[in-house]
A and B are shown apart, each in its own frame.
Chain A
Amino acid sequence: SQQGEEDPQALSIQEGENATMNCSYKTSINNLQWYRQNSGRGLVHLILIRSNEREKHSGRLRVTLDTSKKSSSLLITASRAADTASYFCATNSGYSTLTFGKGTMLLVSP
């Protein structure tokens, strides 16, 4: 079963704008991870946030986690055309597996 649900399903913005994607999940987690997938390619790990963390930054990426609301958000600042991809959240509930959402498709237009 897919625990994470991303919102929106698709997002279209202009270069330079910020992009925000949200992820909701159902059960308690050890950590939550965000991945990027370019069309027809494998996934690339972006950032991992643990259940005892509230915010994490990596370059132009900012991830927040609210365990009371069982939700996370991924913010990409000053987006570029190269950020065009699908973005997935994945939850780890203490076992060795991840449960992925269906993803948000981001289109950044020049």
Chain B
Amino acid sequence: DGGITQSPKYLFRKEGQNVTLSCEQNLNHDAMYWYRQDPGQGLRLIYYSQIVNDFQKGDIAEGYSVSREKKESFPLTVTSAQKNPTAFYLCASRRTGGEQFFGPGTRLTVL
């Protein structure tokens, strides 16, 4: 059963803590993406990776970090430097041709 998985579904964090969101895909896609979605808003690109061991900043990379050590995995770390981290985070991968496939999302709440 191919797809993208994100864990956990809900995550609570205290201010000042770093937290890592998981994203795994078994679609054999080269490109992967992280987006942030705030209520009533569209998606904003945080980071993306087109190939293993390479990634680029998106529009709102400040306060976030990523790694791409394996093709299947693209974890996102929300650091304590991110001033307003409470949001819905979506991971996606892209097949050749342009369309993106999305995971179910992780809702992060900072207490």
Contact = CB atoms under 8 A, between A and B. Distances in A.
Given A41-B105, A48-B98, A48-B99, A102 B42 contact: yes
Interface string B74-111: 00000000000000101010100111111111010000
Interface stretch (A13-21, A55-63, A71-79, A93-101): A93-101
Contacts, number: 59
Interface residues of A, number: 24
Interface stretch (B12-20, B43-51, B63-71): B43-51
Contacts of A33: 98-100
Interface residues of B, number: 29
Interface of B: 4, 6, 31, 33, 35, 40-45, 48, 50, 58-59, 88, 90, 92, 94, 97-105, 107
Interface of A: 1-2, 4, 30-31, 33, 35, 40-45, 48, 88, 92, 96-103
Given A2-B42, A48-B97, A97-B45, 18 more contacts: A31-B98, A33-B98, A40-B107, A41-B104, A41-B105, A42-B4, A42-B90, A43-B43, A45-B100, A48-B98, A92-B98, A96-B48, A96-B50, A97-B48, A97-B58, A98-B45, A99-B45, A100-B42
